[in-house]
Amino acid sequence: MVFAAFFFSLMAVTVKLLKGKIPSQEIVLARSVFMFVVGIYLLKRYHQPLLGRNRKLLFLRGFFGFLGLSAFFYTLTTIPIAESVVIQYTSPLFTAILAPFILKEYNSRKQWLLYLLAFSGIIFIVKPGFSLTFLPALIGLAGACSSGIAYNLVRKLARTDHPLHIILYLPALSIPLATPATLLNFVPPTYFDIVLLILIGLLTFTAQIFLTRSLKLFQRFSGSSFGMKYLICSLFLAHCWF
């Protein structure tokens, strides 16, 4: 879990290094192509079938993962990294809230009360009103909810499917979904941008491997632990670079 948070943090900082020059969907597409190629190679290397077992849930995991990723990359390119990461940090909260409905896990009354208090704190993060950051923050919050759904689906799929299949369905869905917006708003990347895009794909793939294995090992997703590690790493790296 620590390694997943660290590599996700490096990925967030790398996206920020693009300085908003590359549209968010173009970043999603480039990252997804890299992950897809590497994922197919690893499937063949480990003699795994191309398609997983629970294809319906794998499809949903890829779809909601795409929504969460797109929203996160959008916030990274439009608002300060600290605000973007804090908003994305709410995804473990959605993971815990949605767990009873997706995984049939029990939440006590005390836990529901804590979730309610947490949501009251989210209002201060999103800052409702007419500020320029309100819409990106709202999109980021919707993305965090989508990520929460995806995390629960990953935990459920870990019981039946190979980690590579769980990871591969994310880029497999992201490529066709991100292509139309990329074609409409394509910005030719510089050589340095291409290096950053490849690095984003590498860091994300590595982080996904650690996260998927962690969710398979632990019965309950330690959202607060993961989120705090992720938040600390991101803010530290952002302070060093920016």
Determine the Cα–Cα distance for residues 158 and 164; give it in Å rounded to an integer. 10
pLDDT at 240 over 60: no
Question: Rounded mean pLDDT of 117-139?
Answer: 67
Render pLDDT for 175-232 as a digit per residue (tens, 0 to 9). Answer: 999 999 999 999 999 999 999 999 998 988 888 887 777 766 655 544 444 444 444 4
pLDDT at 242: 46
Q: How many residues does the chain have?
A: 242
* Residues of the domain holding 49: 2-241
What tokens were used for 121?
Answer: 């704190």
- Residue 77 CB contacts under 8 Å (≥ 6 apart), including other chains: 15, 18, 20, 22, 23, 24, 27
pTM over 0.75: yes
Buried b (16+ CB within 10 A) or exposed e, 62-97: bbbbbbbbbbbbbbbbbbebebbbbbbbbbbbbbbb
Higher pLDDT, 231 or 123: 123
Render pLDDT for 27-81 as a digit per residue (tens, 0 to 9). Answer: 999 999 998 999 999 998 888 888 888 999 999 999 999 999 899 889 888 887 7
Residue 3: φ, ψ to 5°: -65, -40
Most confident of 14-23, 83-92, 109-118, 169-178: 169-178
Determine the Cα–Cα distance for residues 26 and 34; give it in Å rounded to an integer. 12
Q: Give the chain's mean pLDDT.
A: 80
pLDDT at 68: 92
Domain count, the chain: 1
pLDDT at 61: 94
CA distances from 18 to 53, 77, 107, 224 (A): 38, 8, 41, 29
pLDDT at 239: 44
Residue type, 95: T
Residue 104: φ, ψ to 5°: 60, 35
Determine the Cα–Cα distance for residues 196 and 115; give it in Å rounded to an integer. 37
pLDDT at 234: 43
